Amino acid sequence: NAGVTQTPKFQVLKTGQSMTLQCAQDMNHNSMYWYRQDPGMGLRLIYYSASEGTTDKGEVPNGYNVSRLNKREFSLRLESAAPSQTSVYFCASSRRGDSKETQYFGPGTRLLVL
Amino acid sequence: AQSVTQLDSQVPVFEEAPVELRCNYSSSVSVYLFWYVQYPNQGLQLLLKYLSGSTLVKSINGFEAEFNKSQTSFHLRKPSVHISDTAEYFCAVSSDGGATNKLIFGTGTLLAVQP
């Protein structure tokens, strides 16, 4: 039982390049989330998926797109990377989208955009 | 709109000393409160949470937090810290009424335990 896994662990991009961050969970959770973590700002929600087949914007969605490929997988795509997207990205999942539910986090992807 | 304030960005403390990490929130509706911990180079994991009932909640490793509605606070305490408690601690809030569990995080407090 691996929990939430993310690939890659590290990535360096040049401005304008594109990439997809992958996330998978093996806990049969319905809801999945993408956050970014920046120094002094805590975690901010980029996009979430309440259930398979649905996605919605969070607090900071500009410059990103997501795909809920199936119940297990939720990917985050940067179409044209910018230096402002240098950050640590965390994927999380929860059993349901209920406000009381615990979220389970992956180990993160560290992205540097030059 | 909800918000969470963690005023202390860093709290240095000696091993075996007590510690309190402060968290205040603002919300116009009933809230659920969480403390997550992030060890170096890892993702976040739940430490404890308040949903309802007893206002004092405890974790398995000796931390506790008390929900204080009148002061809109959810401070985290431990009577005696260990070196292994060194980590960043995030307070978070969510509330009913939305379709999805949208957690609002504070900016985090780095607990630095020194020998």
Nearest CB to B90; choose among A42, A50, A94: A42
Nearest CB to A45; choose among B90, B95, B102: B102
Question: What tokens appear for B43 in the block?
Answer: 């993702």
Buried b (16+ CB within 10 A) or exposed e, A71-84: bbbbbbebeebeee
Mean pLDDT of A82-108: 93
Mean pLDDT of B77-98: 90
| pLDDT of amino acid B98 | 57
Would you call B43 and A106 a contact, using CB atoms and an 8 Å cutoff? yes
pLDDT band at residue B99, thresholds of 50, 70 and 90?
low
Q: Is B40 exposed, middle or buried (0-12, 13-18, 19+ CB in 10 A)?
A: exposed
Is A102 near chain B, with CB under 8 Å? yes
pLDDT band at residue A17, thresholds of 50, 70 and 90?
very high
Reduce the DSSP state of residue B59 to 3 states and report it.
coil
pLDDT digits (tens, 9 = 90+) for B21-76: 999 998 777 789 999 999 988 899 999 999 989 999 999 899 999 999 999 999 99
